[in-house]
Structure 1
Amino acid sequence: MDQMSSQPQPVSFAEATSVFAKIGLLSFGGPAGQIALMHRILVEEKRWLDEPRFLHALNYCMLLPGPEAMQLATYAGWLLHGVRGGLIAGLLFVLPGAVVITALSAVYLAFGGVPLVQGLLFGLKAAVLAVVLEALIKVSRRALTGRVAAILAVVAFVAIAFLKVPFPAIIFAAALFGALWHYFRPAARTVRLEDEQAAATPMPEWTRPSPARFARTLAVWVAIWFLPLAFLVAWLGRDHVFAAEALFFSKMAAVTFGGAYAVLAYVAQQAVDVYGWLKPDEMLTGLGLAETTPGPLILVLVYVGFLGGARLSGLDPLLGGLAGAAVTLWFTFVPCFLWIFVGAPYVETLRRVRWLSGALSAVTAAVVGVIANLAVWFGLHVLFGTVGEARAAGPFTVPVPDFATLDWVALAIAVAAAVALLWLKANMIAVLVFAALAGAAWTMA
């Protein structure tokens, strides 16, 4: 990009819409692949954003709850065309995958009992164990940069796996510890030169902080989020599945730091044990389906909402499922637009708040422990037919699998998928497809 200005070059709204539609349709491979795709298109090919601007936006989105890649697309669209640009970029990133995962959920609900489909899903669930393990390794390498971070990860794992501490409480405690730890280390409070330079970088006029715009934007998006929530609760009651989904996924939208993997264990346990929306192994099915669709992995929540609505709404299963999917989609992603449109104008200020960086670093470390629990929880329910629970010392409880119910075929598929992903560096979609075919072949045989 030339040096005349660090602001984005003028781009027509129609061209921006076309490019963000392309990004949405090609956004496979999880957040790492999605961010790389946006970098290649927006920075290298189109040159709409320069490298510092792109990285600046990415750093901000990493601080937020919710899917960072979707929020990065929203941020980029907002830089180019304000709120309407952010809306179109965010929606085009989410909606293609949302349509696909809703259709796949309907197919699962209708044909999940067919032996061929059962076999495909059997292989898919086993391979997803390897995907979760790969995510755990990648996040660990990035997040566990010192002894304190490693200790935080272990504590978080013990808290959620053996003490049943709620996920939001773990996130809050980790953030509080990180902020205090950072504050009481004098060396960490030094403002870096690059932060000073970033603060002086010019921004498009409509992105400059404005108290009036802040108040107006906050009021609009809080209303878009909470008025439908209040309506559902008042109309149907808190215990109805649609109101329960709206409340639950609103809470998830506010605490999902660290990406989809960080919250899936908590969502799965709540959806199975508390709400009865899913059976224990069905979350793995949804995760496998979400891995094969474009868009953020958190779209697996649409699958959860679909099954809950189909089974518990009292409506026709397809109609109830579609309504449940719509409720989940709304309350999962509306908050993402709120975070960007309200907070982005103050991103320069946020970057210089050093204690906030410390808080989010601690949250990222704790997320490693949460993902480790996800891997253990999923693994036990895929590989063993029966998993009990036993009381250990004091408040500790431990899962106890029945080793006589170990599924050797599922274990073999999971190990093969892990070797393909971690050692051979195979394409994830290809691994999932081959695993699904292997599961189908075994089931049909």
Structure 2
Amino acid sequence: MSYPTLTEAARVWARVAALSFGGPAGQIAVMHRILVEEKRWLGDDRFLHALNFCMVLPGPEAQQLATYIGWLMHGVRGALVAGLLFIAPGVVAIMALSWVYALWGDVAFVDGLFFGLKAAVLAIVVQAVIRVGKRALKNGAMMGIAAASFVAIWALGVPFPVIVLGAALLGWMGSAAGVAAFRGGGGHGAVGKTHVDDAETVLGAESGTEARGALRAGAWALAAWALPVVALLVLVPDSVFTEIAVFFSKLAVLTFGGAYAVLAWVAQEAVATHGWLAPGEMLDGLGMAETTPGPLIMVLQFVGFMGAWREAGWAMPLLAGTAGGLLATWVTFAPCFAWIFLGAPWMERLRRNTRVSAALTAVTAAVVGVILNLAIWFAVHVVFGQVAQMGLGPVRIELPVLASVNWAAAGLSVLALLAVFRLKLGMVTVLGGAAALGIALRLSGLV
């Protein structure tokens, strides 16, 4: 059976990147449709195993999934081609939109555009909760893990790594104890014998050459990540660029559960701790990421741009913003390649291990609770102008001030939700329609 050439695969990865709108849920769906259903380069069981592995890694699961599958087919070169092509359109698009936002964000037309996009983003995040939930919550045990994850992060402020580790341990122990709910992991049966499945002993963990090459590439990726961070710490320790490098490096190590989980921490730290941007601006950045191809986590480039644009003190703030945005992108994605290169050979060896599969499945269930928390955070900040902090013992929750409701935002959000769930409109249609309505409301003076 012949394998796709690297050139052929590159054309397909470019197509995947061009169609990757709407966040990780939509991007994963695009990859599944093209790679599994259309090209039949791998089966459902292999695809889901790869997805569960990427979900347990820190960073954006969709980009890492592309990188992992690229490695399966063509080793290190294939991983670099797939991973870089997946993010390239987003890097260019978000940088261009960041310039537009910095220069003309207070213009009525641009302000209305992002006002409308916020409502559409809320609908998209709610849709992501439901999509991932349908895939992950197959029984009462998985639903319980998701509920506990939500309470832990929403009310108790438990860090993401602790939630992920707890879910993984629970899945492992449940499988070891023979609990039926934890048996079988995430596989649903293969589509059939396909290119990558057949290539298991050629490009997978059984190939010592490919495994050693992946480990070397992982070491180089770690070095490429660390070099600018160390240089900034030594040369300009008090610079905003150092803050950006260190902050997003922490994200690269400590944020688990995919892009939606990462955004909850970014929204908290970049807005409340560093003051690089306001909650509404964070939502504007997410709207940019949702309306452009590439990983949703590319919003971090916008955050880095705004932080450097405001804090660097350069005579040319747009140049400072560009440097800050590209730095944030570099320290975010260089580790993503490292995690894949260092972990993929081991995960291939463990692919048939039921306990590992059960642990990864439990992590996916926990991620549902994390995404639900993000959906509620977005809803509160889109529809209400003010929030209040409430606390009782270890419980800390953020509640909206009902008198601050923005009725135009609430109505637009309801329309976006109806468009997504009732009318089943596509992502581009919903985003475009919401943006047009937002512009119309702003120009008419209703918002």
TM-score of Structure 1 vs Structure 2, range by shorter chain? 0.7 to 0.9
**Among 155, 158, 163, the residue aligned to 1:165:** 158
Does 2:26 match 1:30? Answer: no
Structural mapping, 1:24-423, within 5 Å:
24-42=17-35, 57-58=50-51, 60-185=53-178, 202-204=200-202, 208-209=207-208, 212-213=212-213, 215-237=215-237, 239-315=238-314, 316-391=316-391, 393-423=392-422
Letter in 1 for 2:227: L
Separation in structure 1 between the aligned mates of residue 48 and residue 137 of structure 2, nearest angstrom = 21
Q: 1:32 offset after TM fit, Å?
A: 4.1
Q: 1:174 offset after TM fit, Å?
A: 2.7
Separation in structure 2 between the aligned mates of residue 201 and residue 252 of structure 1, nearest angstrom = 34
Separation in structure 2 between the aligned mates of residue 85 and residue 36 of structure 1, nearest angstrom = 21
Report SS of the residue matched to 1:244.
helix
Q: 1:329 offset after TM fit, Å?
A: 1.0
Separation in structure 2 between the aligned mates of residue 245 and residue 109 of structure 1, nearest angstrom = 18
The C-alpha deviation readout for 1:34-82, integer Å capped at 9, x for no partner, is 3444445445655655676656644544443333332233234334433
Letter in 2 for 1:217: A
Q: Conserved in 2, the CA contact under 8 Å of 1:171 and 1:255? A: no
Separation in structure 2 between the aligned mates of residue 184 and residue 171 of structure 1, nearest angstrom = 20
Gaps of 5+ in 1: none
Q: Which residue does the alignment assign to 1:9?
A: 3
Q: 1:240 offset after TM fit, Å?
A: 3.1
Q: Conserved in 1, the CA contact under 8 Å of 2:59 and 2:255? A: yes
The C-alpha deviation readout for 1:257-304, integer Å capped at 9, x for no partner, is 432112211210111111111101212111111111011111111111
Separation in structure 2 between the aligned mates of residue 40 and residue 162 of structure 1, nearest angstrom = 37
Separation in structure 1 between the aligned mates of residue 387 and residue 41 of structure 2, nearest angstrom = 52
The C-alpha deviation readout for 1:202-245, integer Å capped at 9, x for no partner, is 433586135754653343222122222222222222x5322222
Q: 1:363–1:40: structure 2 CA closer, same or farther, 3 Å change rule?
A: closer
Q: 1:199 offset after TM fit, Å?
A: 9.4
Q: 1:293–1:357: structure 2 CA closer, same or farther, 3 Å change rule?
A: same
* Mean Cα deviation higher: 143-152 or 293-302: 143-152
Separation in structure 1 between the aligned mates of residue 188 and residue 277 of structure 2, nearest angstrom = 51
Separation in structure 2 between the aligned mates of residue 276 and residue 130 of structure 1, nearest angstrom = 27
Separation in structure 2 between the aligned mates of residue 360 and residue 79 of structure 1, nearest angstrom = 19
Letter in 2 for 1:249: F
The C-alpha deviation readout for 1:111-147, integer Å capped at 9, x for no partner, is 1111221111111112211111111122222222232
Letter in 2 for 1:135: A
The C-alpha deviation readout for 1:365-394, integer Å capped at 9, x for no partner, is 222222222122111112111112122x31
Q: 1:401–1:19: structure 2 CA closer, same or farther, 3 Å change rule?
A: closer
Q: 1:182–1:102: structure 2 CA closer, same or farther, 3 Å change rule?
A: same
Separation in structure 1 between the aligned mates of residue 343 and residue 160 of structure 2, nearest angstrom = 24
Separation in structure 2 between the aligned mates of residue 365 and residue 190 of structure 1, nearest angstrom = 14
Separation in structure 1 between the aligned mates of residue 98 and residue 161 of structure 2, nearest angstrom = 28
Q: 1:412–1:311: structure 2 CA closer, same or farther, 3 Å change rule?
A: same
Letter in 2 for 1:394: G
Q: Conserved in 2, the CA contact under 8 Å of 1:209 and 1:345? A: no
Q: Conserved in 2, the CA contact under 8 Å of 1:124 and 1:435? A: yes
Q: Conserved in 2, the CA contact under 8 Å of 1:417 and 1:431? A: yes
Q: 1:415 offset after TM fit, Å?
A: 0.4
- Two-structure CA RMSD over aligned residues (Å): 3.0
Gaps of 5+ in 2: none
Report SS of the residue matched to 1:398.
strand
Separation in structure 1 between the aligned mates of residue 366 and residue 243 of structure 2, nearest angstrom = 27
Report SS of the residue matched to 2:208.
coil
Separation in structure 1 between the aligned mates of residue 188 and residue 36 of structure 2, nearest angstrom = 24
Report SS of the residue matched to 1:385.
coil
Separation in structure 2 between the aligned mates of residue 54 and residue 215 of structure 1, nearest angstrom = 22
Q: How many residues of Structure 1 are paired with residues of Structure 2 in the alignment?
A: 435
In percent, how many aligned pairs have the same letter?
53
Q: Conserved in 2, the CA contact under 8 Å of 1:286 and 1:304? A: yes
Separation in structure 2 between the aligned mates of residue 42 and residue 379 of structure 1, nearest angstrom = 34
Q: 1:345 offset after TM fit, Å?
A: 2.7
Q: Which residue does the alignment assign to 1:439?
A: 438
Separation in structure 2 between the aligned mates of residue 105 and residue 189 of structure 1, nearest angstrom = 47
Separation in structure 1 between the aligned mates of residue 17 and residue 47 of structure 2, nearest angstrom = 18
Separation in structure 2 between the aligned mates of residue 168 and residue 121 of structure 1, nearest angstrom = 32
Q: Conserved in 2, the CA contact under 8 Å of 1:262 and 1:368? A: no
Q: Conserved in 2, the CA contact under 8 Å of 1:67 and 1:259? A: yes
Separation in structure 2 between the aligned mates of residue 293 and residue 100 of structure 1, nearest angstrom = 6
Q: 1:398 offset after TM fit, Å?
A: 2.8
